[in-house]
A and B are shown apart, each in its own frame.
Chain A
Amino acid sequence: MAKITAGIATSHVPAIGAALDNGKSGEPYWAPLFEGYRFSKHWIADHKPDVVLLVYNDHASAFSLDIVPTFAIGCAESYPPADEGWGPRPVPVVEGHPELAAYIAHSVIQQDCDLTIINRMAVDHGLTVPLSLLFGQPTAWPVRVIPVAVNVVLYPPPSGRRCYEFGKAIRRAVESFDTDLDVQVWGTGGMSHQLQGPRAGLVNKAWDNLFLDRVVEDPDNLSRVPHIEYLREAGSEGIELVMWLIMRGALNDKVRLVHRFYHVPASNTAVGHLILENSV
């Protein structure tokens, strides 16, 4: 049977990808950030899953305003990196796992979590920056990836509660899949940041760190935090953090925290990162 063994949370700031792609990761501005992922790269080498369910949001790359799905899952064989306005990132094509993805889609819809199915899509920095942070710059990504795209661009995004319940449904789906697979769920985006208007640059270290505590220890109550609190405390783009609750919902109630990292700034954003193992 397939099994969810661990969860990873990480920000997916585009400038991190640009720093890596342009050979700037050793510069004084970026070095402390990449240092926070040094442990993670070793950890993932020892805990390489077969499949990553990568929860992220598209940033007006695959989804224009023509169609805005709240939750969508990629069932394609592969996904090319998107051209976001400056040419595609020089990263490998992302190989999917269509069989497991289709199985999850079928299962979670029958568990009352409605999903949009995607059979062709380019993936932007939201999906590729987390892969770069964990796997560096390989010629091919060492895992298969199932993209789970969540709308956090057009307000309102799904509630934290809905995301948490969706995570639980994903877990039930994965763990009834009849093939031995080691599966990780990654939740990406955040932490506090605002990219628009005169309030751009907002960072709330206290709120972010409380979020990091609660997503590990108290996710059930955290999932009930209303959107307005994210907007006021963590900035208009900080609302991305609801996606971490999908990852958390897919794990055990009790998890083992193996790595925690927090850093300000990456461009406009506070960066948060967790590795959580499903304790047996």
Chain B
Amino acid sequence: MALDKSYSDIPGTTIFDADQARKGYHLNQFCVSLMKPANRARFKTDERVYLDGWPMSEDQRQAVLARDYNRMIALGGNIYFLAKIFSSDGKSFQYAAALMTGTTQEAYVQMMLEGGRSPDSNRSAKEKK
């Protein structure tokens, strides 16, 4: 019997479920490695070489190099793990969120100050139409 994944129709949202966790295991574990200062230094010295040391897919490696967070999420990354990448880059959650929503950090900060993104027409694909 198919699992209930009724959350799949939420616009602009990928739920990090057990299937995603399975696909993203090595990508996310690479992110965990960046919690150690020595590993952060090695990563910064040569990102490509460091990434090649992890058995992840080439798509996943390319997404990391491009800092394409939406792509990393599609390939099984979880935002709390991916946070280790942008933290290592000296960037904030707000910076990453702005990037993922395709806007500038200034515009994103302003949206939050004005009360955030409304749930209206954002609850489901059906509602969005």
Contact = CB atoms under 8 A, between A and B. Distances in A.
Interface of A: 14-15, 59-61, 64-66, 68, 82-87, 153-156, 192, 194-205, 207, 227-228, 231-233, 236-237, 264-265, 267-268, 270
Given A15-B92, A84-B87, A156-B17, A198 B70 contact: yes
Contact of B28 (A64, A156, A204, A233): A64
A60 B83 contact: yes
15 contacts: A60-B81, A83-B36, A155-B7, A195-B93, A195-B96, A195-B97, A196-B69, A201-B108, A202-B116, A203-B115, A228-B6, A231-B10, A231-B13, A233-B123, A267-B92
B57 interface: no
Grouping DSSP codes into helix (H, G, I), strand (E, B) and loop, the A interface class, with mixed when no group exceeds half, is loop
Contacts of A268: 93-94, 97, 112
B18 A199 contact: no
Given A85-B87, A267-B94, 15 more contacts: A59-B83, A60-B31, A65-B24, A85-B35, A85-B83, A85-B84, A153-B80, A195-B79, A196-B69, A196-B79, A201-B117, A202-B117, A231-B7, A232-B119, A236-B10
B15 interface: yes
A153 B28 CA distance: 12
A192 B115 CA distance: 11
B78 A60 contact: yes
Q: How large is the interface on B (under 10, 10 to 19, 20 to 34, 35 or more residues)?
A: 35 or more
Contacts of A155: 7, 15-18
The 9 closest A-B pairs by CB, nearest first: A203-B116, A85-B87, A198-B12, A199-B12, A265-B112, A200-B97, A196-B79, A201-B117, A59-B80
Nearest to A267: B94
Given A59-B80, A84-B83, A65 B35 contact: no
Interface in B38-91: 40, 69-70, 73, 78-81, 83-85, 87-88, 90
Given A64-B29, A65-B25, A201-B97, A84 B84 contact: yes
Interface in B108-129: 108, 111-113, 115-119, 122-124
Nearest to B36: A83
A232 B93 contact: no
Nearest to B120: A204
Contact of B112 (A61, A82, A197, A264): A264
B101 interface: yes
Contacts of B117: 194, 199-203
Interface of B: 6-7, 10-18, 21, 24-25, 28-29, 31-32, 34-37, 40, 69-70, 73, 78-81, 83-85, 87-88, 90, 92-94, 96-97, 100-102, 108, 111-113, 115-119, 122-124
B123 A196 contact: no
A193 B126 CA distance: 21
Contacts of B79: 195-196, 237
Contacts of A156: 17
B29 A199 contact: no
A272 B94 CA distance: 19
A199 B84 contact: no
Nearest to A207: B119
A202 B122 contact: yes
Interface core residue of B29, B73, B79, B119 (most chain A CB under 10 Å)? B119
Contacts of A204: 118-119
A236 B122 CA distance: 12
A30 to B, nearest CB: 12
A192 to B, nearest CB: 8
